[in-house]
Structure 1
Amino acid sequence: MAHRKLTKSFVDKLNPGPDRDFLVWDAELPGFGLRVKPSGVKSYLVQYRNRADGRSKRKTLGQHGPLMTLHQAKEIARGLLADVVRGADPVADHKALRDAPLVKDLAVKYLQEHALPKKRAGSVKNDRSYLDRHILPVLGKMKARDVRPSDIQALHNRLKKTPYQANRVLALLSKIFSLSVRWDMRPDNPARGIEKFQEEKRHRWLSEAELLRLTQALDAHPNQTAADAIRLQLLTGARIGEVLTATWEDFELGQGIWTKPSHHTKQKRTEHLPLSGAALDLLQKIRAERGTCTFLFANPKTEAPYKDLKRFWSVVTTAANLQDYRIHDNRHTYASHLVSSGMSLAIVGRLLGHTNPLTTHRYAHLADNPLRQATEIMAQKLPSPT
């Protein structure tokens, strides 16, 4: 390995060896050199010793030519060798950058180490849907460390026509990048501080006339297993996922209690729900007709619980002539009828499994009906003004 002052004219005139690479090191800048291949390709490189472990490392800077002159290569080498003196390791840093995980790798880690062990199956399904449909097509191939708040903001803005969905995507991204900080994959959360879209909370529930049409449509449908699932939801205000995953072990029919296991509830806590007489009668009927299976509402062919009732629900609501009414809105119907009948918001919230009183507060205006009826009691005792 020769040592001499590298100049442009020397590099240009340097001929390749007959059968192997040879190196020429610059006499002015120790650690900076030129490799010449038998093919004639000339490449600049630096060689240094890692100050932490003493290992010798070599890094190629690029090929000599119009895109990298001797002067440019020497300036790059001088900067890298100065970094080495300060304790850096350019080869290791480049490898870390090259091997840095992509957003799609971060998503896999999130699902495997957080979502699957800690979230309900339905929530994991939603996460996968948001990732596959919205996040990964846009950010998946980016390095996780390179994602900026402006990238998150642009993705959020793309979904402005569906603000509820946009905010769920933003919340998922914030959680994923929050975990990436904990996992030392990046120093900050680029989703933090991005303002959510204003959401209009749904206030859709059934009037007594609509409720009657729904019950008639349930009675007329040939799939009475699915119909009974909706009936139990209407009688308890439970989430449909809690209904479909319910097993006979969860019920104490003698005491009239439904114990919802923590892994089936949204709040991840065990709930004890008192059952009405009508709910108990329904459960007794189901047990008499189909009580041999572990699950209350199982597919008769597989004996596995129904995953959802979307097709059934579409047929039933069409038959009942119900517009813009989701299966989750049965919880709103349950709550609204209780509140308008005089039940306190606190009790309704307990029955629905709400941990935040503000969640139940959407039904507060319905409490005016029993109050207005109460005011009429005194009005009836006074004579009308003449």
Structure 2
Amino acid sequence: MQQAQRLTKRVVDAAEPVADKTYCIWDSDVKGFRLRVRPSGRKTFELKYRAGRRQRLFVIGDYGPFTPEKARKAAEDAKHSASRGGDPQHEKIVHRHAATVAELIQLYLTEGRIDKPNKRESSWQADARDLLLHVHPILGATPINALTTPDVARWQRDVVAFKTARVKKLGFRKISCTRGGPKVVGRATRTLCAMLNWAIRRELIKDNPAARVSKPADVMRERFLSDEEAVHLFATLDDMEAAAEIRPDHADLFRIIALTGSRLAEMRDLAWSEVDFSRPAVVLQPERHKTGQGGRRKVINLNAAAVEILKRRTNQSDWVFTKPLPFKGPMETPRKPWAAVIKRAEFEDLRIHD
């Protein structure tokens, strides 16, 4: 193996091909940057790097179109991208083969997280539902460089017409329902637009055809409990807990949400470190609530009833609402218990604030 040296025009020009043998000259300045010399005389600049746990080879280009200085700059840029979680060779392949919308979706849902580190995991999950359930079935096979504004407008009409609605069987007595329709087209369009804007920043496409279509507002759902309904809800929780029809921790979670008006995830994942009995209040860091993009904490004031519930839940865990032993961590979303409460209370169209 030759000793590493700075790849300059003089060094590259002096590199002679060897019959029946390919060899590499490594650069001494940029780790992983090298020149591959083939028996045919072809000289190619390359970069070896790591993407996660995998070792990858980024083919920069041949000597001629690329000077050593231009190739070194490309290698440095690729190493910087890889250090932030990117995969330069994969992106090059996607761009070269005019990737389809389906391939772009997969790339966005994996590497987009690296470029948007402050975006909440629940938001990424919502994006995945929009893209995989509503965009992929209709636009998935379309090359991203061939996608047009009329294509996006037709896709919107198809979603509104419930053409993405389907029922999928997941197993014994388990199904997944995708509804589609006017209620989802607005958010799905904004998610598609955000993905295409990301693709522009990655230089995978030059234009965003979704930027020029209308983006219907989400159909807002407003449902508030009256005083009588609130009393009835708490009485139902007491009765079901006494009859062992619902776990006490599930009942307490529903009570806390009702008393504070907080979101499900804010209380379901509540840690004791976020509870301040001296105020008394729950203090959530920006990454723990939906309105934290500006770096602001969220303070949820606690009344006497909420404080009483929390104090009786004192445990040895880091979490207020935990998984049942022997499992560790915050409680999972209690969908079935909530459905049972709604059925017993005979409430219509009532859901936990999410």
Same fold (TM over 0.5): yes
Q: Indicate if the aligned counterparts of 2:323 and 2:332 stay in contact, CA closer than 8 A.
A: no
* 2-structure distance, mates of 1:136, 1:215: 43
Query: Which is greater in Rg?
Result: 1
Tell me the CA shift for residue 307 of structure 1. 3.3
Alignment partner for residue 256 of structure 1, among 280, 287, 303? 280
3-state SS, counterpart of residue 195 of structure 1: coil
Question: Counterpart of 2:321?
Answer: 297
Q: Indicate if the aligned counterparts of 1:244 and 1:307 stay in contact, CA closer than 8 A.
A: yes
* 2-structure distance, mates of 1:193, 1:215: 49
Tell me the CA shift for residue 98 of structure 1. 5.4
> Is 1:313 aligned to 2:341, yes or no?
no
* 1-structure distance, mates of 2:332, 2:113: 19
Q: 1:296 to 1:113 in 2, by over 3 A?
A: same
Q: Could you say which structure has the higher helix fraction?
A: 1
Tell me the CA shift for residue 273 of structure 1. 2.5
Q: Indicate if the aligned counterparts of 2:322 and 2:328 stay in contact, CA closer than 8 A.
A: yes
3-state SS, counterpart of residue 272 of structure 1: strand
Q: Deviations over 1:227-280 (max 9, x none)?
A: 111111111111111111110011111221211021111022321222212211
* 2-structure distance, mates of 1:272, 1:324: 28
3-state SS, counterpart of residue 134 of structure 1: helix
Q: Where does 1:369-380 land on structure 2 (aligned, <5 Å)?
A: none
Question: Counterpart of 2:145?
Answer: 145
Tell me the CA shift for residue 176 of structure 1. 0.3
Question: Counterpart of 2:129?
Answer: 129
Alignment partner for residue 290 of structure 2, among 243, 252, 266? 266
TM-score under structure 2 normalisation?
0.62
* 2-structure distance, mates of 1:173, 1:194: 11
Q: Where does 1:227-238 land on structure 2 (aligned, <5 Å)?
A: 227-238=251-262
Alignment partner for residue 223 of structure 1, among 247, 253, 272? 247
One-letter code of the match for 1:242? E
Question: Counterpart of 1:203?
Answer: 222
Tell me the CA shift for residue 137 of structure 1. 1.8
Tell me the CA shift for residue 322 of structure 1. 0.2
Unaligned runs of 5+ in 1: 1-49, 55-94, 330-386
Q: Indicate if the aligned counterparts of 1:144 and 1:186 stay in contact, CA closer than 8 A.
A: yes
3-state SS, counterpart of residue 191 of structure 1: helix
Question: Counterpart of 1:334?
Answer: none
* 1-structure distance, mates of 2:94, 2:277: 60
Q: Deviations over 1:329-350 (max 9, x none)?
A: 8xxxxxxxxxxxxxxxxxxxxx
Alignment partner for residue 110 of structure 2, among 112, 127, 140? 112
One-letter code of the match for 1:124? W
One-letter code of the match for 1:327? I
Q: Where does 1:60-99 land on structure 2 (aligned, <5 Å)?
A: 99=97
One-letter code of the match for 1:135? V
> Is 1:53 aligned to 2:65, yes or no?
yes
Q: Indicate if the aligned counterparts of 2:193 and 2:210 stay in contact, CA closer than 8 A.
A: yes
Alignment partner for residue 282 of structure 1, among 309, 312, 316? 309
* 2-structure distance, mates of 1:197, 1:314: 30
* 2-structure distance, mates of 1:97, 1:120: 28
Q: Indicate if the aligned counterparts of 1:247 and 1:295 stay in contact, CA closer than 8 A.
A: yes
Question: Counterpart of 1:77?
Answer: none
Q: 1:148 to 1:281 in 2, by over 3 A?
A: same
Q: Indicate if the aligned counterparts of 1:225 and 1:297 stay in contact, CA closer than 8 A.
A: yes
* 1-structure distance, mates of 2:136, 2:145: 15
Q: Indicate if the aligned counterparts of 2:131 and 2:192 stay in contact, CA closer than 8 A.
A: no
3-state SS, counterpart of residue 118 of structure 1: coil
Q: 1:103 to 1:254 in 2, by over 3 A?
A: same
Q: Indicate if the aligned counterparts of 2:183 and 2:218 stay in contact, CA closer than 8 A.
A: yes
One-letter code of the match for 2:232? R
* 1-structure distance, mates of 2:157, 2:316: 51
Tell me the CA shift for residue 188 of structure 1. 1.2
Q: Indicate if the aligned counterparts of 2:108 and 2:195 stay in contact, CA closer than 8 A.
A: yes
Q: Indicate if the aligned counterparts of 2:260 and 2:302 stay in contact, CA closer than 8 A.
A: yes
Question: Counterpart of 1:22?
Answer: none
Q: Which moved more, 1:125-134 or 1:170-179?
A: 125-134
Q: Indicate if the aligned counterparts of 1:181 and 1:188 stay in contact, CA closer than 8 A.
A: yes
Question: Counterpart of 1:160?
Answer: 160
Question: Counterpart of 2:348?
Answer: 323
Tell me the CA shift for residue 198 of structure 1. 5.2
* 1-structure distance, mates of 2:267, 2:260: 9
> Is 1:178 aligned to 2:197, yes or no?
yes
Q: Where does 1:358-377 land on structure 2 (aligned, <5 Å)?
A: none
Q: Indicate if the aligned counterparts of 1:163 and 1:198 stay in contact, CA closer than 8 A.
A: no
* 2-structure distance, mates of 1:311, 1:120: 25
> What root-mean-square deviation, in Å, do the aligned CA atoms of Structure 1 and Structure 2 show?
2.5
Question: Counterpart of 2:212?
Answer: 193
3-state SS, counterpart of residue 159 of structure 1: helix
Tell me the CA shift for residue 192 of structure 1. 0.9
Q: Indicate if the aligned counterparts of 2:262 and 2:300 stay in contact, CA closer than 8 A.
A: no
3-state SS, counterpart of residue 299 of structure 2: strand
Tell me the CA shift for residue 199 of structure 1. 4.5
Question: Counterpart of 1:364?
Answer: none
3-state SS, counterpart of residue 293 of structure 1: coil
Q: Which moved more, 1:165-174 or 1:273-282?
A: 273-282
Q: 1:96 to 1:231 in 2, by over 3 A?
A: closer
* 2-structure distance, mates of 1:122, 1:218: 28
Question: Counterpart of 2:52?
Answer: none
Question: Counterpart of 1:239?
Answer: 263
Q: Which runs of 4+ in 1 moved over 4 A?
A: 95-98
- Size of the aligned set, in residue pairs, is 237
One-letter code of the match for 1:207? S
